[in-house]
Amino acid sequence: MPDDSVALIGPRLKSWREKRSMTLADLSQATGISSSTLSRLEAGKRAPNLELVVPIARALRLELDDIVPRKAPDPRVARTKKRMGDTWYESLSPESSPVQTYKVTFPANPAGITAVPEPRVHDGQEWLYVLSGRLRLVIGEQDVVLGPGEAAEFDTRIPHWLSGVGTQQTEMLSIFSKEGKRIHLRARPAAPSVRSTETPR
């Protein structure tokens, strides 16, 4: 048990006892532990151990997690970066997350591409945001170009394809729901569609 957690056990027990409107005498009678021992424990003058904490937790109707503060996990995401062709994908969310977030970097494409490769189809819902450069998005019968500050959302079961356009590389954020949950609540489109919005500046 970390030292800082041990030091907080006594004050937390006292706080819970007072929330339960119990006196030291009440808790002593419920646990069989003397009032003086309970008082010293709450004041941090008696080291806590399972023989003391377990009966106190039972008497106060608590779980041990209510008494021993949980240590906050490291919130930083272990980022991985992989290359597929000329495009880089950098993960910005844990692999276990139901919603996956990536930073995608497309290479410069000054000549553009007129022939669209075989579009992709997979379960899910995707929301993307262009950070820099220009992004070409082909979805269904629509073919649009998005610039910095623009966003799009679409059902990934509709055939789609993305590519950078222009003389500089294109960077975008992609948020993808593996379970097909929608990133933004809205009605399901009746036909292949894409919605593009420009972020207010």
Residue 69 makes CB contacts below 8 A (sequence gap 6+) with 5, 8, 12
Q: What is the pLDDT of residue 123?
A: 78
User: Can you list the domains of the chain with their CATH numbers?
Assistant: 3-67 (1.10.260.40), 81-198 (2.60.120.10)
Q: What is the pLDDT of residue 184?
A: 33
Q: What is the pLDDT of residue 68?
A: 75
How far from 200 is each of 52, 148, 150, 154, CA to CA, in Å?
59, 11, 9, 21
Q: What is the pLDDT of residue 115?
A: 67
Is 199 a residue whose pLDDT tops 80?
A: no
* 115-153 per-position pLDDT tens digit: 677 778 877 788 999 999 999 999 988 999 999 999 999
How far from 46 is each of 2, 37, 52, 163, CA to CA, in Å?
16, 7, 10, 66
Residues 56-64: what's their mean pLDDT?
90
Residues 98-119: what's their mean pLDDT?
82
Residue with the two structure tokens 């189809």: 121
* 145-154 per-position pLDDT tens digit: 999 999 999 9
- Which range has the top average pLDDT, 82-91, 103-112, 173-182? 82-91
